[in-house]
């Protein structure tokens, strides 16, 4: 018992470096329940912490590239006990905002829809990974929301002036998806974009 308490006390302290702390929190978020495959809401929180790691150390690279690199640079695996011990500190450090109102999204429609699609694409990937849960239809709901936004965006005649070339569009996309972190966690932003479900 003393050994277990000592271990929990040790793992409840996050690294002072925000990059390493965010990576640890990302790992903990999908290990805490002890299941072989995490629930979607846990993988959505995983994306939130990855985005904080990207913010701490973007290294001048594209958002997608950094997300891939951060996943590959994951810390040593954690037990469910270690994960549950550190999660309260993760929430205290990174303070996830779980409710975003639609009016908080960018005012210009093309910016708003591009931000929404960028966030939804990150969640879609995670939802597809955990789709084995029969009760979990997040993947279908995200796909439906994405299709609705894509259809609306296709009717917009004015493309953003700052995204004329492919490189400029990537920079524009990255600026918006990274800015979404200032509003709240990805799932909260997605709900503001029209995603339904609890």
- Which pLDDT tens digit goes with each residue over 58-96? 999 999 999 999 999 888 788 999 999 999 999 999 999
What's the angle, vertex CA 114, arms to CA 104 and CA 19, rounded to 5?
75
Cα gap 124→109, rounded to integer Å: 22
Of residues 147 and 155, which shows the higher confidence score?
147
Which is nearest to 69 in space by CA: 56, 86, 78? 56
**Tokens 């979404």 sit on residue:** 180
Say if CB 117 and CB 124 are below 8 A apart: no
Please enumerate in sequence order all residues whose Cβ is within 8 A of that of 165, keeping only pairs 6 or more positions apart, or say none: none
pLDDT at position 64, please? 93
pLDDT of residue 175 exceeding 60: yes
Q: How far apart are the first and last CA of the chain?
A: 37
Query: What is the pTM assigned to this prediction?
Result: 0.87
> How is residue 129 written in tokens?
């990974």
DSSP assignment letter at 87 = H
pLDDT at position 77, please? 81
Buried b (16+ CB within 10 A) or exposed e, 179-194: ebbebbbbbbbbbbbb
């Amino acid at each position: 018992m003393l050994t277990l308490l000592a271990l929990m006390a040790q793992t409840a302290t996050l690294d002072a470096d925000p990059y390493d702390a965010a990576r640890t929190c990302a790992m903990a978020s999908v290990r805490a329940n002890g299941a072989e495959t995490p629930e979607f809401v846990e993988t959505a929180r995983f994306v939130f912490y990855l985005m904080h790691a990207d913010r701490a150390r973007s290294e001048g690279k594209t958002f997608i590239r950094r997300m891939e690199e951060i996943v590959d640079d994951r810390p040593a695996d954690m037990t469910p006990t270690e994960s549950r011990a550190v999660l309260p500190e993760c929430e205290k450090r990174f303070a996830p905002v779980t409710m975003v109102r639609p009016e908080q999204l960018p005012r210009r429609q093309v910016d708003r829809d591009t931000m929404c699609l960028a966030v939804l694409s990150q969640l879609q990937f995670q939802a597809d990974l955990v789709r084995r849960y029969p009760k979990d239809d997040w993947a279908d709901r995200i796909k439906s929301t994405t299709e609705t936004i894509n259809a609306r965006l296709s009717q917009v005649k004015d493309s953003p002036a700052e995204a004329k070339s492919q490189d400029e569009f990537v920079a524009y996309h990255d600026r918006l998806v990274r800015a979404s972190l200032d509003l709240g966690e990805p799932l909260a932003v997605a709900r503001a974009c029209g995603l339904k479900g609890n």
